[in-house]
Amino acid sequence: MSTDLNASGYDNCRMPQKITMITRPLAGFEIPSSEGHQLYSAIFGIIPRPRPLMSTISLCPLQGRFKRCLSPRRKELDPEERYSLAVGITDQRETEIFRSAVAPLVSRERNLRLKSGELRVEELASNTAGFEELLQASGDLREPSLDFEF
């Protein structure tokens, strides 16, 4: 299962090994603006036990159109919209662990359960890029920099 997601606009994160999920909420519900901890929980919730130890997992935030909420630190998922989510690893040595972790999503229909609702995984795509390829892709930058968000 390999595809290039750049054309569809869902490729915002660069990782050596990445699974991109296109999801749709089963119903509208609110999530925190910083939804990372809920997404990590949902992903680890589908991994079969015993859960593998992954030290280099990387997660991009949900991408899509959200409804506005009254609370300034929340956003609402719309069941009429699709949201992308990229999960990956940065250490090539953990590739097999990573593949086994997402196998439940590939082999059977599974939903990601967040605190206030569920996301149905409608599409999955994977890609692999080496660090050299990632460096080459960034070679045309005029003013390279690193940005960290916490």
**Residue 44 falls inside a structural domain:** yes
Q: Give residue-wise pLDDT tens across range 96-142.
A: 766 666 666 666 667 889 999 999 988 888 777 665 665 666 666 67
Task: Report the C-alpha gap between 147 and 131 in whole angstroms.
Answer: 18
**Residue 48 falls inside a structural domain:** yes
Q: Residues with Cβ < 8 Å from 49, sequence gap 6 or more?
A: none
Whether residue 19 is predicted with pLDDT greater than 70 in this model: the reply is yes
| pLDDT given for residue 44 in this prediction | 76
**What is each CA distance from 8 to 17, 74, 86, 125, in whole angstroms?**
19, 26, 14, 12
Rg (CA), the chain: 16
| pLDDT given for residue 12 in this prediction | 47
**Residue 88 falls inside a structural domain:** yes
Task: Report the C-alpha gap between 84 and 20 in whole angstroms.
Answer: 7
**Residue 111 falls inside a structural domain:** yes
**Residue 36 falls inside a structural domain:** yes
| pLDDT given for residue 124 in this prediction | 82
In contact, 126 and 89? CB cutoff 8 Å: no
Whether omega before 50 lies within 30 degrees of 0, making that bond cis, reads yes
Task: Report the C-alpha gap between 76 and 57 in whole angstroms.
Answer: 26
- The single-letter code of the amino acid at 43 is I
| pLDDT given for residue 22 in this prediction | 92
What is the tally of structural domains in the chain? 1
In contact, 111 and 26? CB cutoff 8 Å: yes
**Residue 140 falls inside a structural domain:** no
What is the span of the domain harbouring residue 42?
A: 6-129
Exposure pattern of 26-51 as b/e (b: 16+ CB <10 Å)? eeebbbeeebeebbeebbeebbeeee
Work out the pLDDT band at 2, boundaries 50, 70, 90. very low
Mean pLDDT of 48-60: 69
Could you tell me the CATH number of the domain that includes residue 30? 3.30.70.1890
**Residue 146 falls inside a structural domain:** no
42-56, 62-76, 111-125, 130-144: which range is least confident on average? 130-144
46 three-class SS: helix
**Residue 134 falls inside a structural domain:** no
Work out the pLDDT band at 8, boundaries 50, 70, 90. very low
